[in-house]
Amino acid sequence: MSSLSTRLKTWAHSHAPTREKLEKNRLLRPLARRPELWRFTRRSVPRGVAIGLMVAIFFVIPGLHIVLAALLCVPLRANIPLAVGSTLVSNPATIPLFVAAAFWIGNHLGFHADLATFHAMRHNGAELVEWKHWLLSDAAPALLIGLGVIAIITGAVGYVVTAALWRARIGRRWRSRARHPASATLP
């Protein structure tokens, strides 16, 4: 297990952009000059994971959710790499599951998206105009409310789990230092 984590760390460090590379890009230069957005701290890590998960689920537009998550990290002082990485939970394989769950939740919360019409339109190859009319009926509120509920719950769970894992990791380090005090000193 430790060799897998070592290989993942090595891969991440070799593929992560350096601050110098970020400063060369005029769009990313302001973010590169804020080192607190790139550090892994006990506060920034859970924030980054929560932001990434919430944005990935609520804004299911590929590519846009990555940019939005990075931008939200700035005022919330969250870790940008983890926020961007967490957005990968939303991909072509998971988006249909999120949308179906959002419609189910939205319907159970009192909004009525007609799923029979949805299936009929999908089966008959409906055109974009028909999809727009269906979505602007009762489907949009059901979808948005459902995605919002899923995003908030997933973000909260991601925050709590990440904070607990961070705390457990630090606890292991402290226990290890207590057992081996000679190795804890720096040269």
Looking at residue 2, its pLDDT comes to 62
**How many C-beta neighbours within 10 Å does residue 89 have?**
15
Cα gap 126→187, rounded to integer Å: 69
Looking at residue 65, its pLDDT comes to 87
- Entry pTM: 0.77
Looking at residue 182, its pLDDT comes to 66
How many CA atoms does the CB half-sphere of 12 hold within 13 Å? Answer: 9
Structural domain includes residue 159: yes
**Nearest to residue 147, comparing CAs of 92, 93, 109?**
109
Longest distance between any two alpha carbons in the chain, whole Å: 72
Q: Over the stretch 73-113, which tens digit does the pLDDT of each residue have?
A: 989 999 988 898 899 888 888 888 998 899 899 889 888 77
The token duo for 150 is: 């899923």
Lowest mean pLDDT across 8-17, 131-140, 175-184: 8-17
Structural domain includes residue 8: no
Cα gap 129→169, rounded to integer Å: 52
Structural domain includes residue 6: no
Q: Over the stretch 7-40, which tens digit does the pLDDT of each residue have?
A: 877 776 676 666 677 777 777 777 777 777 888 8
The count of domains in the chain is 1
Q: Measure CA 70 to chain center.
A: 10
Domain extent at residue 133: 17-184
Structural domain includes residue 116: yes
